[in-house]
Amino acid sequence: MIHKVTLIPGEGIGPEVAAATRRILEAAGVQIDWEEIAGRTGKPSDQGHVNQAAIESVRRNRVALKGPMATAIAGGAPSVNVALRKSLDLYANLRPVKNLPGVKSHFENVDLVLVRENTEDLYSGLEHEVVPGVVESLKIITEKASTRIARFGFEYARRHGRKKIHAIHKANIMKLSDGLFLRSVRTVAAQFPEIQYKEFIVDNACMQIVMDPLQFDVLLLPNLYGDVMSDLAAGLVGGLGVVPSANIGDDCAMFEAVHGTAPDIAGKGLANPTALVMSGLLMLDHLGEQSAAERIEAALKKVYRDGKHTTRDVGGTARTNEFADAVIAALKPV
């Protein structure tokens, strides 16, 4: 079967890691008809807005692989990444966090999944200046979005044989907004009696996860806490270069790495494509190509175990292309 997939290479190291990922997926024999398109109008330096044609392409193909795109800090155009997720109503952000053999980290046997609400909370973009020197930023939490992310999380846990879900909140202080999130999750949790349900206040959760990550299985979080805790969790297993993510909605899905455009190493052929390759594996799973995904994962692990062709960020010396070549060489024939 040939899959039609939108490819948004992204900016900075995006095109380098996207090209390596594409080569690896194709070498595993997956037949993909890529529709390559820019995520932004104009050049990155122009800080253009989201490309409507890219949104249309993902709507049409229903699946996209995306490289990172830059966002100006404290001013400039709104985030193209957030605009894409919102326009396509990709309400669930899924971030599996697992150790890779040979990648130095503080813990072993970490295997957790963060399920982050992706459309509201403080990312509503509703900010204004009340009077000079005072700004207001609106945190939006709805029963509808909280319930659907909770349902997504519990259904994911059931499908993947996961045993435990922790909801993360700050409802002791934000009694209305996080309170509504928590009440919505509890209602859904009651419908999944086989999955153990627990709650943690976000500050305690941060402490708990760096003290003992193995106590966690699936974490269910509103947008902001999800954003912060998923990078924190990436740090438990070797950092942003080795963690994938998926943005999933009812109609389409977009797979991307957790890291950004890495301007410090862009264009130098030094980027580690592992995170995007692993996001590609989540995409293959979504497309029903489990056996190709398993072969690539095995090849990836072999390259990491051997340790001869890993990239600089994880202590090796290989360039992006050399790493991709090694993964391709390690692929077992079908």
Residues that bind ligand NAI (CB under 6 A): 13, 17, 68-71, 81, 240-241, 256, 259-265, 271-272, 275, 313
Crossing angle for the helix pair 14-27 and 320-330, to the nearest 10 degrees = 10
Q: Which of 91, 170, 197, 304 is catalytic?
A: 170
Q: How far is the CB of 84 from ligand NAI (least distance, A)?
A: 9
Q: Which is nearer to ligand NAI, 162 or 319 (CB)?
A: 319
Q: Which is nearer to ligand NAI, 177 or 223 (CB)?
A: 223
Q: Which of 111, 139, 164, 231 is catalytic?
A: 231
Q: What residue is closest to ligand NAI based on CB?
A: 260
The per-residue b/e assignment along 163-180, b for 16 or more CB within 10 angstroms, e otherwise, is eebbbbbbbeeeeebbbb
Is residue 304 annotated as a catalytic residue, yes or no? no
The answer to whether 14 and 69 have CB atoms below 8 angstroms apart is yes
Q: How far is the CB of 191 from ligand NAI (least distance, A)?
A: 32
Q: Which of 6, 9, 4 is nearest to 271 (CA)?
A: 9
Q: How far is the CB of 19 from ligand NAI (least distance, A)?
A: 13
Q: Which is nearer to ligand NAI, 68 or 249 (CB)?
A: 68
Q: How far is the CB of 15 from ligand NAI (least distance, A)?
A: 12
Q: How far is the CB of 200 from ligand NAI (least distance, A)?
A: 25
Is residue 123 annotated as a catalytic residue, yes or no? yes
Spatial distance between the Cα atoms of 289 and 295, rounded to a whole number of angstroms: 10
Alpha-carbon 152 to chain mean position: 15
Q: Which is nearer to ligand NAI, 275 or 293 (CB)?
A: 275
Q: Which is nearer to ligand NAI, 267 or 288 (CB)?
A: 267
Q: Which of 232, 140, 151 is nearest to 178 (CA)?
A: 140
Is residue 231 annotated as a catalytic residue, yes or no? yes
Is residue 203 annotated as a catalytic residue, yes or no? yes
Q: Which of 227, 304, 313, 325 is catalytic?
A: 227
Q: Which is nearer to ligand NAI, 199 or 297 (CB)?
A: 297
Is residue 33 annotated as a catalytic residue, yes or no? no
Q: How far is the CB of 231 from ligand NAI (least distance, A)?
A: 9
Residue 159 CB burial class (10 angstroms; 0-12, 13-18, ≥19): exposed
Q: Which of 86, 91, 123, 217 is catalytic?
A: 123
What is the set of active-site residues? 123, 170, 203, 227, 231
